[in-house]
Amino acid sequence: MLECYDFVSVGGGSSGAVIANRLSEDQSASVLLIEAGGIENEVSDIPLIAATMQLSPLDWQYVTEPQDAACFGMSDRRSLWPRGKVLGGSSVLNYMLYVRASPHDYDEWERLGNYGWSWKDVFPYFLKSEDNRDPVFLKNGYHATGGYMTISTPPYSTPLGRAFIKAGIQMGYPNVDVNGPTMSGFMIPQGTTRRGARCSTSKAFVKPVRHRKNLHITLYSLATKIHFDHHKRARAVQFERFKVPHIAYARREIILSAGAINTPQLLMLSGVGPAHHLSHLGIKVISDLPVGQNLQDHIYTGALNFQVSPESSVTHERAFTLKNVMSFLTAGKGPLSLLGGVEGIAFINTKFANRTIDHPDIEIHYLTGAPTADGGQVFRRTQGFADELWERFYIPHLYKDGMSIFPVLLRPKSRGFVKLRTVSPYDPPVIDPKYLTHPHDVRTLVEGMKFCISVSQTPAFKAFHSKLWPEPIPGCEHYKAWSDEYLACSARTITNTIYHPVGTCKMGSKWDPTAVVDPELRVKGVAGLRVADASIMPNIVSGNTNAPCMMIGEKISDMIKKTWGTGPLHNGRQWGR
């Protein structure tokens, strides 16, 4: 390691890996990437078993505070929050779905005062990263080849997965590319996979350039503090590697891409955050900003599980045969290539959505299997089900064929926060998403659940004898089965994160008192410091967050290059390696 670099970047996840790659394109600029975790392993390459990465050494293993209005059926009324502690970040743990979200989301960002973040501004950066391997999708003009990140369609599907598309058509929704000209509709999803295996941002963006002489990467290195000079300019990052302290100085800028939990934690530990909170902990205040506020997340309710015909879905016993393992290892094919078991996604409009524009308010994740398909080996542990819920609702269906249709609340109105628990960087922060504290969120989820039940009753699924699990959800028995009140109760009981925390370092105009960074992602009140990850989102996007985080990494890299006059900016569509 050197004592001083031009750029010091903290966090090598979905945004940070992109930034390390793009900033080091200029051979005259030295770049240090500080990552708290290590390197992904071969097990994480297998898409179907994405959930097994949770609660592993590759996971920060965060847990929320007990929820007042949700998570009633989870242990201690808490939600487990996996976050990637590994080079590649949460792209090593996620379900690999490639979704850019709605153009209206980004146009709304710009309307909030964030110049340069409209859809027409960010769309080129999605294309810049992309190397789409499916010729069908390439034809519609909304995709690109030649980027670092491989996007492909899983090479395997089940009859139930294909039935999901038919069911959507029978419900009046077309089979679409949700990243194409129309978002509302059903599709077999594309994912961040390469030859059937997971393609993390580490594999895509870091591995091809790891031998650049001007790019240094330090792993197992926990950033503990940002040091500022007397002019409030960020000068260095202090970090510990195997408990040995180090410090790296930055000539030009420090970029934080540690994610929606770790970035605000590091800022607050360094004196950037709410003055009253920092003062209470004895931390000297450098800049009084609402760091950690505006926490948003996508949630779904796991209550909609269905019985289906024998041997029609994916179960642990049938998936992990010698034949299937060899098919995956040699050709990247077979059921192990499924995106965590997600065979279908859809974007639909409830009665609360504005149907005059293409801006759905519910996303559906369709899984050809139930949480009990593995007999309780993984999902019971990673979802955090309480004993009573597991024993009364799930145990009757162990190892049995099933399917799950999960509605995801895309634009929650509930807002939570992240705060420091102690002044130690080794202590996890206080995380309180305040799920379902806004009544509109419950009403929207109920409408989404009713739609999912209707999907299960279409002729496409009736051919597989689909039927809701008959067991009542504990705590909801006193409501009429499947009434709006029962559905609301079940949403509050089985409340699951879809792993998309955002918003804790909100981007906004210079006169926005709720903003932490400006539209060029510079932290307000200080100099030489930017944030570039999901925490900058003013409002959560209407879709999965991995692709938007890569876009943020691409866009901030060009902003930084423009600031310092280094390296080529994107030009037309001449991007890629």
* Sign of the four-CA dihedral 203, 204, 205, 210: positive
Distance between start and end Cα atoms, the chain: 26
Q: Which candidate in 211, 280, 500, 570 is catalytic?
A: 500
- State how far the Cα of 67 lies from the Cα of 65, in Å rounded to an integer: 6
Q: Determine contact, residues 206/215, Cβ cutoff 8 Å.
A: no
Residues 271, 461 contacting (CB under 8 angstroms):
no
* Cα 574 from Cα 577, distance rounded (Å): 10
What SS3 class is residue 251? strand
* Backbone region of residue 167 per phi and psi (left: phi > 0; alpha: psi in -120 to 50; beta: other values): alpha
In total, the chain counts a number of residues equal to 577
State the CB neighbour count (10 A cutoff) for residue 28: 8
Largest CA distance in the chain: 71
Residue 246 annotated to the active site: no
> Please, which residues have CB within 8 angstroms of residue 75's CB and are 6 or more apart in sequence?
384, 385, 386, 387
Give dist(CA 496, CA 71) in Å, integer. 7
Q: Which residues contact 248 (CB under 8 A, 6 or more apart)?
A: 1, 2, 3, 4, 5, 8, 32, 34, 236, 237, 239
DSSP 304-360: -EEE--TT-S--HHHHS-HHHHHHHHHHS-SGGGSBTTEEEEEEE--TTS-TTSS--
Cα(355)–Cα(365) distance, integer angstroms: 21
Query: Helices (DSSP H) in 200-301: which residue ranges?
Result: 201, 259-269, 275-280
Q: Is 272 annotated as a binding residue?
A: no
Instruction: Find all residues with CB under 8 Å of 400, minimum gap 6, and list them.
Output: 307, 315, 370, 372, 373
Of the candidates 49, 57, 59, the one whose C-alpha atom is nearest the C-alpha of residue 80 is 59
Other C-beta atoms closer than 10 Å to the C-beta of 41 total 13
* Residue 186 structure tokens: 């059903």
Residue pair 363/543 in contact (Cβ under 8 Å)? The answer is yes
Q: Are 119 and 548 in contact (CB under 8 A)?
A: no
Compute the distance between CA of residue 35 and CA of residue 239 in angstroms, rounded to an integer: 10
- CA within 13 Å, CB half, 536: 32
Pairing of strands 221-228, 305-307: unpaired
Annotated binding site for FAD: 86
Residues annotated as catalytic (active site), given as ranges: 500
Annotated binding site: 86
